[in-house]
Amino acid sequence: DAGVIQSPRHEVTEMGQEVTLRCKPISGHDYLFWYRQTMMRGLELLIYFNNNVPIDDSGMPEDRFSAKMPNASFSTLKIQPSEPRDSAVYFCASSPGGNTEAFFGQGTRLTVV
């Protein structure tokens, strides 16, 4: 398996535009996590899915953020409209079970100007 695949690796967009980040988890993994890395809070859990169902989205900062997992092999994190303070590295991770090691993608560096 190629591991968790995120796209794009880098995204530069203007304030107010819609941004969509994509993630392909490892095949067979039941859990998918979205994180945002910031200097102050480290790896901040935004939302996680179990068997494609969102379990906890309490970390999603605002209504501008939404995430979907239409099937076991694909998830998106959307920001609409984007703002400069959304600039960060966003990571997707997947794991085969609840309390097991999670495998991370290489991240998407988002810059909103």
Partner 1 sequence: DQQVKQNSPSLSVQEGRISILNCDYTNSMFDYFLWYKKYPAEGPTFLISISSIKDKNEDGRFTVFLNKSAKHLSLHIVPSQPGDSAVYFCAASANDMRFGAGTRLTVKP
Q: Which of these ranges, 12-20, 21-29, 69-77, 95-103, lies near partner 1 under the rule CB under 8 A?
A: 95-103
Q: Which of these ranges, 11-19, 21-29, 62-70, 101-109, lies near partner 1 under the rule CB under 8 A?
A: 101-109
One character per residue 18-57, x = contact with partner 1 (rule: CB under 8 A): -------------x-x-x---xxxxxxx--x-x----xx-
Cβ-contact 20, 92 below 8 angstroms:
no
By the rule CB under 8 A, 102 interacts with partner 1: yes
DSSP state string for 62-77: STTEEEEEEETTEEEE
Site for partner 1 in 58-77 (CB under 8 A): none
From residue 14, alpha-carbon distances to 35, 111, 112 in Å are 22, 8, 5
Shortest approach of partner 1 to residue 40 CB, angstroms?
A: 7
**The tokens of 63 are what?**
């209504």
Task: Look up tokens 């409209």; give the residue.
Answer: 81
